[in-house]
Amino acid sequence: MAETTLFRTILCPVDFSAHSRQALNYAALLVKRLRGKLIVIFVEDPLLVAAAAVAYADTQLIEKSRAELRRFVERTIAPYGVTIASVTLDVVMGRPHEEIARTAKRLKCDLIIVGAHGATGANKMMLGSTTHRVLRSSPLPVLAVPPVKGRAKRPARTWPGKWALAPIDLSSRARTDATAAAVAARELGTQLRLVHIVEPIAELPWLEVDATRRNQQQERRALAFLSRVKEGLAWAVADTVVQAGRPGTAIAAIASQNDVGLVVMTRRRGQGLFGPRQGSISYQVLVDARTPVLALPSDPQWLRRAVALRPRNVI
């Protein structure tokens, strides 16, 4: 596999939970494979710090957290052959998603890896809010790792395995999104399967529309479009899938298949495949499919950089 230039410096925020240990497992695996640099941070809650300050001085509290962070990280990364001396550790204070963004910018990170608690609905506001906010707002690629039950389990050293999915829409941005996903998949050592979900037109008795025929036309059009995109990305894309359904639910169902180890999605605002709230479907797929999601940013500058890394002998 060619040496990576897309994911050089990886940031992994942790909170000492099994979910964050799982994220750190993936971070250590990728750092070792890609010969990258790992940065791990723990964000202190200002309210808890204020309460604990009654028993500890501020400096003592920070040092205590730093020592705990070092032990947590060292035990997790050791099986991957990553030494603690090669890892940058930091303890910061503030709102987690804001400090994650600040640290990523300050240390010029290329990828953020976060764990999820698996909450949906109202509970997501508390338990899953940090991961969801990072998915929605980060200008960097975010690898979100699904929640775990019980102890964290180390991913296979061959992860992501045979297939990664790349859901795309049929807009003018589709080729760019697919190319960026193909570059990411190639660097992670997997093949890409392009996926498009067609939302069916409902049968309405008062509307003179042959819904079945329209749905079939949409599916044929989508398949033809994906085939054309695939032709230009033969170095990474090996398959295409068109399916009817609601995007989040259908993508999660496909991603749940045993041979799929990763979903690569471009986060875009506005209407269309990924909905009005950037990162919302990424989070739904993450929780429902229990498959890691690599959410790529829609920032034009980042996309140009990613597309520029495609093999030079292809158009």
Listing DSSP states for 230-256 in one string gives HHHTTTTEEEEEEEES-HHHHHHHHHT
Do residues 153 and 23 lie in contact, with contact meaning Cβ atoms separated by under 8 Å?
no
Q: For residue 167, what are the contacts with CB-CB under 8 A and spacing of at least 6?
A: 195, 196, 197, 247, 251, 263, 265, 273
Report the pLDDT value the prediction gives residue 210, as an integer from 0 to 100: 67
Do residues 292 and 298 lie in contact, with contact meaning Cβ atoms separated by under 8 Å?
no
Rounded mean pLDDT of 38-45? 90
Q: What is the pLDDT of residues 267-289, one digit of tens each?
A: 876 544 444 444 567 777 877 87
DSSP SS3 for 41: strand
Rounded mean pLDDT of 44-73? 71
Q: How far is residue 210's CA from residue 73's CA, in Å, rounded to a whole number?
A: 59
> Residue 156 falls within a domain, yes or no?
no
> Residue 154 falls within a domain, yes or no?
no
SS3 content of the chain, % helix, strand, coil (to 5): 45, 20, 35
Looking at the 3D structure of the chain, how many domains does it have?
2
Q: What is the pLDDT of residues 117-174, one digit of tens each?
A: 644 433 333 335 788 788 888 899 999 998 887 777 889 999 999 999 999 988 889 9
Q: What is the pLDDT of residues 176-230, one digit of tens each?
A: 999 999 999 999 999 999 999 998 866 555 555 566 778 888 899 999 999 999 9
> Residue 108 falls within a domain, yes or no?
yes
Report the pLDDT value the prediction gives residue 1, as an integer from 0 to 100: 43
Shared domain for 28 and 136, answered yes or no, is yes
Q: Give, in order, the Cα–Cα distances in Å from 18 to each of 30, 43, 54, 68, 228.
A: 19, 16, 29, 15, 43
User: Of 116, 145, 174, which one is at a domain's C-terminal end?
Assistant: 145
User: Of 118, 145, 172, which one is at a domain's C-terminal end?
Assistant: 145
> Residue 50 falls within a domain, yes or no?
yes
Report the pLDDT value the prediction gives residue 205, as an integer from 0 to 100: 57
Please determine, for residue 40, whether its predicted confidence score (pLDDT) is greater than 80: yes
Nearest to 129 by CA among 163, 100, 109: 100
Shared domain for 167 and 249, answered yes or no, is yes
Shared domain for 174 and 286, answered yes or no, is yes
Beta strand 142-145 pairing with 293-296: antiparallel
Position with higher pLDDT, 303 vs 149? 303
Q: Which two tokens stand for residue 245?
A: 């359904």
Shared domain for 92 and 186, answered yes or no, is no
Report the pLDDT value the prediction gives residue 107, as an integer from 0 to 100: 96
DSSP for 162-229, please give it.
SEEEEE--SSTTHHHHHHHHHHHHHHTT-EEEEEEEE-PPPP-TTS---HHHHHHHHHHHHHHHHHHH
Beta strand 87-93 pairing with 111-115: unpaired
Q: How far is residue 220's CA from residue 231's CA, in Å, rounded to a whole number?
A: 17
Specify which residues 113 forms β-bridges with: 143
Shared domain for 232 and 287, answered yes or no, is yes
Do residues 144 and 131 lie in contact, with contact meaning Cβ atoms separated by under 8 Å?
yes
Report the pLDDT value the prediction gives residue 122, as an integer from 0 to 100: 33
Shared domain for 263 and 292, answered yes or no, is yes
What CATH number does residue 273 fall under?
A: 3.40.50.620
Rounded mean pLDDT of 245-272? 83
> Residue 1 falls within a domain, yes or no?
no
Shared domain for 220 and 136, answered yes or no, is no
Shared domain for 177 and 210, answered yes or no, is yes
Residue 130: its H or E element: helix 129-137
DSSP for 91-129, please give it.
EEES-HHHHHHHHHHHTT-SEEEEE-----GGGGGTTSH
Shared domain for 182 and 105, answered yes or no, is no
Q: Which two tokens stand for residue 108?
A: 């010029």
Shared domain for 300 and 168, answered yes or no, is yes
Any idea what DSSP says for residue 75?
H
Position with higher pLDDT, 204 vs 242? 242
Q: How far is residue 153's CA from residue 76's CA, in Å, rounded to a whole number?
A: 11
Please determine, for residue 53, whether its predicted confidence score (pLDDT) is greater than 60: no
Residue 52: its H or E element: helix 46-52
Position with higher pLDDT, 3 vs 38? 38
pTM of the model: 0.86
> Residue 152 falls within a domain, yes or no?
no
Q: Which residues of 209-225 are buried (b: 16+ CB within 10 A; e: fewer)?
A: eeeeeebeebbeebeeb
Report the pLDDT value the prediction gives residue 137, as an integer from 0 to 100: 82
> Residue 150 falls within a domain, yes or no?
no
User: Of 115, 145, 175, which one is at a domain's C-terminal end?
Assistant: 145
Q: What is the pLDDT of residues 75-132, one digit of tens each?
A: 999 999 999 999 999 998 888 889 999 999 999 999 999 998 644 433 333 335 788 7
Shared domain for 140 and 167, answered yes or no, is no
Q: How far is residue 172's CA from residue 85's CA, in Å, rounded to a whole number?
A: 46
Domain that holds residue 16: 9-145
Q: How far is residue 191's CA from residue 91's CA, in Å, rounded to a whole number?
A: 37
> Residue 158 falls within a domain, yes or no?
no
Shared domain for 132 and 190, answered yes or no, is no
